[in-house]
Amino acid sequence: MLPLDGVGILITRPSHQAAALCRLFEVEGAAVTRFPAIEIQPLADTRRAARLGAIGDFDLIIFASANAVRYGAALLEQQRDLPLAAIGPATARALNQAGYRVSIQPHEGFDSESLLRHPKLNSIAGRRVLLVKGQGGRELLQDELQRRGAALTLAEVYRRECRMAAADELRALESRFERREIQVITATSGEIGGNLLVLATPALRRYFDAAHWLVPSARVADVLRQGGLEAPIVRAASAEDQDLVSAVVRWRSTVSGA
């Protein structure tokens, strides 16, 4: 018997980022349901590179997410010797897969706070920094870089949108909960968690409060609590796929008495 036999997992990441996590859960025996709660759309701007000037003039280029790499790596113009920073391991991996070497990333963690603790970001006053990111979102990283005296330029290369699910899709999801096919709901970011609560029909909201929610950090858990969620929360060590799966395996072993 596999560790997650009989456990249904709702995967809510954007469609293009869900496959690897789904496979890992399925390997452990879980039944996976996909329900993307967020969409990622590129921001088309053919003049962006011209406004930035020469990419090699920046002292540091920070990518704030794997999606920033997906939609912003073209800004690097295939120059392989640029000083690059990644906000966490998934972002660093995306840069590596695109053929770039990351010189700065958190020693542990995967968020703005973790990156800002890196010693090389302590003495950044007067240095030209390019931050490649999505539109909106948390401003902690850019605010703190500016407070430390960096000459900061922003390149917003994508936007996040709450995915508007059709009525029949919501009803199909309700049916899965009615049949007790889903026990764990993933919310790998505060925005995904908030979107799920917004999208929920009254019936889904009742099911949401009865399920277990899997989150990667206390910050995401706080977003859910502030949205009124009363469900039990399982916290993973990070948003890395294996950490998420391991957290559910540990939870299952606890509730099953194994």
Q: What is the pTM of this model?
A: 0.89
- Mean pLDDT to the nearest integer, 48-71: 89
Q: How confident is the model at residue 137 (pLDDT cuts 50, 70, 90)?
A: confident
Which range among 105-119, 147-161, 183-197 shows the weakest confidence by mean pLDDT? Answer: 105-119
Helices vs strands, H then E, count in the chain: 11, 10
Q: How confident is the model at residue 110 (pLDDT cuts 50, 70, 90)?
A: confident
If we measure between CA atoms, which residue out of 32, 105, 38 comes closest to residue 67? 38
Q: How confident is the model at residue 46 (pLDDT cuts 50, 70, 90)?
A: very low
Taking residue 91's Cβ as centre, other Cβ atoms within 10 Å add up to 25
- Burial (CB < 10 A; 0-12, 13-18, 19+), residue 57, is exposed
Task: Quote the pLDDT of residue 50.
Answer: 52
Which range among 48-52, 118-122, 132-136, 220-224 shows the weakest confidence by mean pLDDT? Answer: 48-52
Q: Give the whole-angstrom CA distance, residue 95 versus residue 66.
A: 8
User: Most confidently modeled of 41-55, 106-120, 121-135?
Assistant: 121-135
State yes or no: pLDDT of 173 exceeds 70: yes
Task: Quote the pLDDT of residue 257.
Answer: 52
State yes or no: pLDDT of 45 exceeds 90: no
Comparison of pLDDT for 257 and 249, the residue scoring more: 249
Can you list the domains of the chain with their CATH numbers?
8-37+163-256 (3.40.50.10090), 41-161 (3.40.50.10090)
Structure tokens at 4: 């997650």
- Mean pLDDT to the nearest integer, 17-36: 97
- Mean pLDDT to the nearest integer, 91-99: 96
Q: How confident is the model at residue 53 (pLDDT cuts 50, 70, 90)?
A: confident
> Is 256 in a helix, a strand, or coil?
helix
If we measure between CA atoms, which residue out of 249, 245, 183, 253 comes closest to residue 216? 245
If we measure between CA atoms, which residue out of 106, 152, 160, 150 comes closest to residue 125? 150
Please, what is the end-to-end C-alpha distance for the chain in angstroms? 12
pLDDT > 90 in the chain, percent: 90
- Mean pLDDT to the nearest integer, 173-184: 98
Residues 6+ apart with CB under 8 A from 157: 42, 43, 48, 68, 71, 72, 75, 132, 133, 134
Q: How confident is the model at residue 47 (pLDDT cuts 50, 70, 90)?
A: very low
State yes or no: pLDDT of 108 exceeds 90: no
> Is 86 in a helix, a strand, or coil?
strand
Task: Quote the pLDDT of residue 44.
Answer: 75
Residues 6+ apart with CB under 8 A from 54: none
State yes or no: pLDDT of 256 exceeds 70: no
- Mean pLDDT to the nearest integer, 200-220: 96
The amino acid present at 65, given as its one-letter code, is S
Q: Give the whole-angstrom CA distance, residue 218 versus residue 128.
A: 32
- Mean pLDDT to the nearest integer, 195-220: 96
